[in-house]
């Protein structure tokens, strides 16, 4: 089961958080909880989910804003890509400083890429793909069995992530999209950090990538 939840980053923007949960066991992951921890906890309780890990696609404040509260409530690890400390330890780098927020994460597990993130049911898992460009720590979580990739702000329907923020790189983002995102099967659904989902095939067809 994939349950997208559009969360409001108070008076600033909206962001897509995702529950990725096994239908049989109801165990799974919460990806990019950017805000509204009480609402996300309500969903977990009402649906009988057991969330084993919080997975972060990158360290911008609109993707990590609810992590501390959820970790305290659920007593589970939060995982993010290498380079994550650049964002979790600095409110300017993660952007929260500029919106009168002070978001610092104290307890994260760093993923270096190539790992498989497991649940209590070993067959229900996500592969970790290093995806720098939008940020230093950008990470994609991919399920070959379900044909989905949680891509954060790396790529969007009809667009791609910014590279003008702290740690961004236009060259790295181009390499990530061309050599990692587009290396996935064409039918793979790309679940983005903002806006609508898309597919590898649809984004490959864009003239600016050819």
Domain regions of the chain by residue span: 2-209
Model confidence at 210: pLDDT above 80: no
Q: Read off the pLDDT of residues 111-160 as tens digits, 9 standing for 90 and up.
A: 999 999 999 999 999 999 999 999 999 999 999 999 999 999 999 999 99
Rounded distance, CA 6 to CA 15, Å? 6
Model confidence at 9: pLDDT above 90: no
Mean pLDDT of the chain: 95
Q: Which residues of 75-87 are buried (b: 16+ CB within 10 A; e: fewer)?
A: eeebbbbebbbbb
- Spell out the CATH class of 2-209: alpha beta
Model confidence at 11: pLDDT above 80: no
Write the Ramachandran bin of 115: left for phi over 0, alpha for psi from -120 to 50, otherwise beta. Answer: beta
**Average pLDDT for residues 76-99, to the nearest whole number?**
95
What is the four-CA torsion angle of 87, 90, 92, 96, rounded to 10 degrees?
80
């Amino acid at each position: 089961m994939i349950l997208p939840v559009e969360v409001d980053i108070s008076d600033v923007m909206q962001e897509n958080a995702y529950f990725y949960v096994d239908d049989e066991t109801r165990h799974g992951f919460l990806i990019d909880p950017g805000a509204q921890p009480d609402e996300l906890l309500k969903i977990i309780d009402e649906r009988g989910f057991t969330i084993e890990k919080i997975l972060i696609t990158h360290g911008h404040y609109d993707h990590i804003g609810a992590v501390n509260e959820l970790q305290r409530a659920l007593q589970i690890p939060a995982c993010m890509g290498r380079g994550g400390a650049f964002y979790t330890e600095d409110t300017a780098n993660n952007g929260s400083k500029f919106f009168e927020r002070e978001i610092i994460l104290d307890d994260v597990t760093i993923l270096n890429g190539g790992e498989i993130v497991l649940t209590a049911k070993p067959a229900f898992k996500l592969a970790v793909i290093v995806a720098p460009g939008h940020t230093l720590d950008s990470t994609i979580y991919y399920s070959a069995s379900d044909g989905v990739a949680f891509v954060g702000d790396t790529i969007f329907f009809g667009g791609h992530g910014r590279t003008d923020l702290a740690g961004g790189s236009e060259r790295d983002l181009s390499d990530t999209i061309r050599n990692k995102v587009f290396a996935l099967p064409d039918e793979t659904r790309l679940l983005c950090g903002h806006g609508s989902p898309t597919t590898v095939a649809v984004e490959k067809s864009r003239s600016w990538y050819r």
